[in-house]
Structure 1
Amino acid sequence: MNVLVLLAIILFALMIWIGGKKGARSFLSLFLNFGVILVSVFFMMDPNADPIIITLIACTVISCINLFYINEVNSKTVTAFISTLITVTILLFFIYIVTKKAMIQGFGEEEMDEISVIFSLYPGLDFVKISAAVIIMSTIGAVTDIAISITSPMQEIFNQHPSIKKKELFTSGLSIGKDILGSNTNTLFFAFIGGYMALLIWYKDLSYSFGDIVNSKIFSAEMITIFCAGIGIALVIPIASLINAHYLIKIRDKKK
């Protein structure tokens, strides 16, 4: 049996065993998200298409899958969805400016020999926008995860203390966010760097100095991705806390 199929079966079995129906939906969401990314790449290959707009649409669809398809439509997922869209929009334009200033778009000199043999180096694509799209696609999962991780316990706090004030509920959301901020930032760091361990070994074989490594385009792009992902995680915490607190208190006041 193919190793990939075997691993997929093991993952599916574990997710069903632990998560039940929600685990099954989570497993299917992996393929749905992959399909969204694949379609987005095909659209970005058109020189007349705007990668920023495509990325915003793709992130919206991915957020719907991760929040509404897996966790169903409720107050927690709705506020998490709104918080995710606001954060992604802010982060996307910030990343676009950073990518343009840092000039990390395009290919590094380590990639030129292999790519120039196979591909045209003048495809007519806006690599600044594509680089921004790649970074935001790398962070969308973490942003949605943090958003629902904030709104869900806030909902429980509100259910246990219906008379809680808006400021107190907002402060509770921030406290929850502080507890998960550090662990998620480190998770992203090791996830990205772990995938580039082979690159670091290659740098050693090329006898790169520390300065060469830090100033290389590939390494800089990876570190900027990590920093931007961390900024996105930090940014979504107060946004999700504020929106969810406002929403829950507004619903309570309407019922009264």
Structure 2
Amino acid sequence: MCAVHAKDQTTAHGHGHGHGRHAAPASAPVRRLLLVLLLPLVLATVVGALVLYPFDHDQPTGAEAGLAQVPVRGEVTAVVRGGCGPDADQPGATGCVLVTVRMADGFAPGRDVRIPVPDQPSSPTFAVGDAVVLSYGGGDPNAGQSYQLADFQRGFPMLLLAVLFVAAVLLLGRWQGLAALGALALSFVVLVLFVLPAILAGEDPLAVAVVGAGLIMFVVLYLTHGVSARTSTAVLGTLVSLVLIGVLGVLFSALGKLTGLDEDTANLVSLLGHGIDTRGLLLAGTIIGALGVLDDVTVTQTSSVWELRRANPALGFRELYAAGSRIGRDHLSSVVNTLVMAYAGTALPLLLAFSLSGRDLGEILTAQQVAQEIVRTLVGSIGLVAAVPVTTALAAYLASRETVPEPEPEPEPEPEPDDDAAAGEDEYDDWDEPAWDEPQEPAWRRRVTGDLRTGYDPAKGPWRRPGRPVPRPGDRGLG
């Protein structure tokens, strides 16, 4: 019996990877339905990735793309105030901060160069010992005029933060956290090795974003949560929401005459040397940005519906959908606020600049740079809202058609021996009652042992409720 029970538990654990210890395998009709729905989508995603990937495109970079600046690492050794230009060393000259940097690599490693930095509120503050990055644009490698202070070195703090993040995920998630980290790494691989090269090669950014989001979604969800009916339902809900976000994004970016052109995009177009769909680039960012939040909503809704079904197998489609929708409404308000705050935080400097412009609120909200952030936020939020009923309906339909295994009956407890019956008439023989003719101490002077509330003394064996002793001939008060 123990071996059979252990085998059943092992089977249940194996099928429930990622969704609880006692998740049951999907029934055959559910598996067939999911296969019919998902297989064409998986094939379309793979074919789209093969068609859009720039196999024969050689993208010029660095100096080939017109970027002649070479990064050089160094350390600040001195900071003094002085003038700008040729009169920097003149007594009393002001207007710049002269930063001396000892270069660690580049064309003159070990040499010191002095670089003037404008003494303005917008300029960063440098101190002795700062690890910095210089930008070398050619010319005499020993002259300070050939360099510019470009940035600070941040390798160590960024690495330390990454280590803390990995440690926190593994400490809390353990093997599930390890799978999540692997999925995160694969997401970056898709972005760096597929999405970015395809867009730089001139492919439609919206199509690339849709295919890339599909690849990320399949990899992340199945690797993190396991291959099961629950995960497949979350995948379907995410796909439907992404399609809705794409359609609404195309529609309202066209109605709003959004071009997607800002300073960064204009610089990108000039570097590429060929045209790029800047509006499609805007929509691609919207889809990829909403993908992570969509995964959260769809997985939560699917798991909620499946757990409701497991807790009460009598629940049908209507009951599961109603209960799952109530859970989704509570979750939705916080998720939408998260997306809005994420976009607002990204555009905070832009909002501050517009606030100082003296323009009214309507003009600020309909300006190109603000309007495109609003379209991103609202389109993504509509997709999140739609994900709740769509995913809940799919999960309720599939979960109601799964076979829920019967719980194993718990073994009945063995009856405890009746100590009182076994004792018979001698149950009062061990009752420690002082003789009636012995002098009694006051209650406040008696030393009490054992439990003060019940009078139980562990040294006297199992506790039995004391009864009144049976009167015997010769006792005081009897004839």
TM-score normalised by L of structure 2? 0.49
Q: Residue 159 in 1 paired to residue 310 in 2?
A: yes
**CA shift at 1:206, angstroms?**
4.8
1:13-162 alignment to 2 at 5 Å? 13-38=167-192, 39-47=194-202, 49-108=203-262, 111=263, 115=266, 119=270, 123-162=274-313
Correspondence for 1:200: 351
Shift of 1:208: 4.7
Structure 2 unmatched ranges of 5 or more: 1-154, 405-479
Question: Which protein, 1 or 2, shows the higher relative CO under an 8 Å CA cutoff with sep ≥ 6?
Answer: 1
Residues 117 and 83 from structure 1, CA distance in 2 versus in 1: closer, same or farther, beyond 3 angstroms?
A: closer
Counterpart-to-counterpart distance in 2, 1:41 and 1:24? 26
| Structure whose residues are more often strand by fraction | 2
The answer to whether the 8 Å contact 2:305/2:399 transfers is no
Checking the alignment, whether the CA contact within 8 Å between 2:237 and 2:390 is kept in structure 1 is yes
TM-score of the pair, normalised by structure 1 = 0.89
Supply the AA of the counterpart residue of 1:148. V
Greater shift in the superposed pair: 29-38 or 95-104: 29-38
Task: Report the Cα distance in structure 2 between the residues aligned to 1:211 and 1:60, rounded to whole angstroms.
Answer: 37
Aligned partner of 2:393: which letter? L
Alignment partners' CA distance in 2, 1:236 and 1:62 = 18
Q: CA RMSD in A?
A: 2.4
Distance 2:228 2:328 in 1: 21
Give CA-to-partner distance per residue, 1:77-131, whole Å, 9 cap, x none. 11000111122112212211111211222314xx38x946982697322223222
Q: Which residue identity does 1:142 align to in structure 2?
A: V
Report the residue type matching 1:201 in the other structure: L
- CA distance in 1 between counterparts of 2:326 and 2:269 reads 52
The 8 Å contact of residues 210 and 287 in structure 2, kept in 1 or not, is answered as no
Match of 1:248 among 355, 377, 399: 399
Residue 41 of structure 1, CA deviation: 2.1
Matching residue of 1:9 = 163
| Bigger-Rg structure (1/2) | 2
Counterpart Cα distance in 2 of 1:95 and 1:143: 16
- Distance in 2 of aligned mates of 1:58 and 1:117: 21
Return the alpha-carbon distance in structure 2 between the equivalents of residues 118 and 242 of structure 1: 44
Query: After superposition, what is the alpha-carbon deviation per residue over 1:7-48, rounded to whole angstroms, capped at 9, x for unaligned?
Result: 00000011111111111222232232122222212202233x
Q: Is the 8 A contact 2:269 2:276 kept in 1?
A: no
CA contact (8 A) 2:249 2:283 kept: yes
Matches of 1:166 and 1:209, distance apart in 2: 50
Deviation (angstroms), 1:242 = 0.9
Match of 1:241, SS? Answer: helix
Q: 2 CA distance for matches of 1:121 and 1:211?
A: 35
1:66 Cα deviation after fit: 2.6
Q: Distance in 2 between matches of 1:208 and 1:123?
A: 35
Q: Is 1:221–2:372 an aligned residue pair?
A: yes
Instruction: Name the CA distance, whole Å, in 1 between partners of 2:210 and 2:323.
Output: 30
SS of match in other structure, 1:250: coil
Question: 197-206 or 241-250, which moves further after superposition?
Answer: 197-206
Q: Percent sequence identity over matched residues?
A: 22
Letter in 1 for 2:198: F
Off by >6 Å, runs of 4+ in structure 1: none
Larger deviation: 237-246 or 88-97?
A: 88-97
- Cα 1:121–1:221 change in 2 (3 A) is farther
Structure 1: distance between partners of 2:183 and 2:366: 37
Deviation at 1:207, TM superposition (A): 4.9
- Mean alpha-carbon deviation: is it higher for 86-95 or for 14-23? 86-95
- Whole-Å separation in 2 of the counterparts to 1:60 and 1:102: 27
Letter in 1 for 2:261: F
1:233 aligns to what? Answer: 384
Q: Is the alpha carbon distance of 1:44 and 1:121 closer, same or farther for their aligned partners in structure 2, counting shifts above 3 Å?
A: closer
How far does the alpha carbon of each residue in 1:172-196 deviate from its partner, in whole angstroms, 9 at most, with x for none? 1211110111000111111111122
> How far has the Cα of 1:205 moved from its partner?
5.0
Aligned-partner Cα distance in 1 for 2:187–2:379: 21
Q: Give the match's secondary structure for 1:155.
A: helix
Aligned length: 250
**Partners of 2:269 and 2:204 in 1: CA distance:** 25
